[in-house]
């Protein structure tokens, strides 16, 4: 994504005064990871991997309640009501796939979060795709130019979604390891595609159909019935309903790409809802990630028996 475009997408959702502070700082938006606005607290940024507190008038720039409200107006296009469902989950995806998280007072109805009011903190996470991060893994999860049923196992913040996104792109477009095929993506939290108004802002390939903000179990079945995908991709499976939907997809002849929280094959084997899947050899490949030396480090790739391939 061009620096100027990214700059425009981020700047336009910030309060005018914060925009001026960032302009003075001469920020390169390609190197910007996060901007945090907290009521009555200094403005924070994660820039070039480090925390930065910009100054305004010699002191740290302190964000006011009005500025948080102003940012919220811009983020929601002056239409908070239109983002009710997103706010329930605590974030809104803006143009460019950047994610705006927010906290405040949760409004509860029938023991579920109905909305957030008195928003006091806003965290703008700048979207950064890493295209090509799946290059080393793809040859190990394909066979005769067809993708294998693959489960990516990874602890949080180790790059499983980034890896899944790049796998989807490569499988969808096709290359020397895999024949390009139709990929159906169920993106419950808009993390894979970073959809804005239903259109993926991240590169997911030319044969990809994405179902945004849809519960995974329901979404997988909807996709099979409506779009006949050859591959189905989902992020962070974990409930029994999702496992049932996965099995349904398997019976329908779809190849599966999924991720799950975990640190090793042993841990997956011990998880009650995955135990049977591993025993039944539902998945043909398991990719285990970690952040031991760097984010997204491949700890091992395992076959359907759970034996290490690499």
Partner 1 sequence: MYLKIIGSILIIASTSAIGYWYSTGFQRHLNELQYLRQMLIMIYGEIQYTQEPLGDVFSHLGRRLKSPYMEWFRYMTEAISDRSRVSFSELWQTSVDLHLAERDLKPKDLEELKDLGTQMGYLDTETQLNVLRLYIEKLEINIQTVREGLASKKRLSNCLGVMSGIFIAIILI
Site string for partner 1, 99-128 (x = CB under 8 A): ----------------x-------------
Phi, psi of 83 (to 5 degrees): -115, 20
Using rule CB under 8 A, residue 2 touches partner 1: no
Using rule CB under 8 A, residue 70 touches partner 1: yes
Shortest approach of partner 1 to residue 22 CB, angstroms? Answer: 15
Shortest approach of partner 1 to residue 306 CB, angstroms? Answer: 46
Are the beta carbons of 296 and 162 closer than 8 angstroms?
yes
Which of 21, 29, 37, 76 is the binder for partner 1 (CB under 8 A)?
76
- Touching partner 1, residues 7-26 (CB under 8 A): 12-13, 16
Give whichever of 72 and 211 is closer to partner 1, judged by the CB atom. Answer: 72
| Helices and strands of the chain, counted as H and E runs | 9, 17
Binding piece for partner 1, criterion CB under 8 A, among 76-84, 158-166, 171-179, 184-192:
76-84
Size of the site for partner 1 (CB under 8 A): 17
- N- to C-terminal Cα distance for the chain? 34
10 Å CB burial of residue 52 (0-12, 13-18, 19+) is: middle
Show the DSSP H helices in the chain as ranges: 3-11, 16-25, 65-75, 84-89, 160-173, 216-227, 240-251, 265-270, 272-279
Residues 6+ apart with CB under 8 A from 265: 153, 286, 288, 300, 302, 306
Q: How many residues are listed for the chain in this entry?
A: 310
Closest CA to 148 of 281, 29, 245: 281
Shortest approach of partner 1 to residue 130 CB, angstroms? Answer: 30
- Touching partner 1, residues 192-221 (CB under 8 A): 197
Using rule CB under 8 A, residue 82 touches partner 1: yes
Site residues (vs partner 1, CB under 8 A): 12-13, 16, 70, 73-74, 76-84, 115, 197
């Amino acid at each position: 994504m061009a620096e100027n475009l990214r700059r425009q997408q981020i700047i336009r959702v910030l309060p005018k005064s914060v925009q001026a502070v960032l302009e003075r700082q001469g920020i390169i938006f390609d190197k910007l990871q996060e901007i945090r606005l907290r009521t009555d607290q200094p403005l924070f940024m994660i820039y070039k991997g480090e925390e930065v507190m910009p100054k305004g008038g010699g002191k740290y720039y302190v964000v006011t309640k009005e500025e948080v409200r102003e940012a919220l107006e811009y983020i929601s296009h002056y239409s908070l009501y239109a983002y009710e469902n997103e706010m329930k989950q605590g974030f809104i995806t803006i143009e460019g796939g950047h994610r705006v998280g927010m906290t405040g007072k949760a409004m509860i109805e029938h023991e579920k979060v109905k909305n957030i009011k008195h928003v006091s903190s806003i965290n703008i996470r700048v979207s950064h795709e890493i295209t090509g991060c799946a290059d080393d893994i793809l040859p190990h999860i394909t066979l005769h130019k067809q993708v294998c049923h693959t489960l990516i196992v990874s602890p949080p913040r180790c790059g499983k979604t980034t890896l899944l996104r790049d796998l989807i792109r490569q499988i969808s477009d096709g290359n020397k390891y895999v024949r390009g095929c139709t990929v159906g993506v169920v993106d419950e939290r808009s993390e894979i595609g970073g959809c804005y108004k239903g259109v993926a802002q991240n590169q997911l390939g030319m044969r990809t159909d994405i179902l945004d903000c849809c519960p995974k179990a329901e979404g997988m079945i909807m996709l099979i019935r409506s779009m006949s995908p050859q591959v189905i991709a989902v992020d962070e499976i974990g409930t029994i309903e999702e496992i049932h939907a996965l099995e349904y997809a398997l019976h329908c002849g779809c190849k599966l790409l999924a991720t799950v929280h975990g640190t090793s094959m042993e841990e997956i084997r011990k998880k009650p809802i995955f135990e049977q899947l591993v025993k039944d050899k539902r998945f043909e490949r398991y990719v285990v990630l970690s952040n031991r030396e760097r984010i997204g480090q491949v700890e091992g790739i395992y076959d359907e028996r759970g034996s290490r391939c690499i």
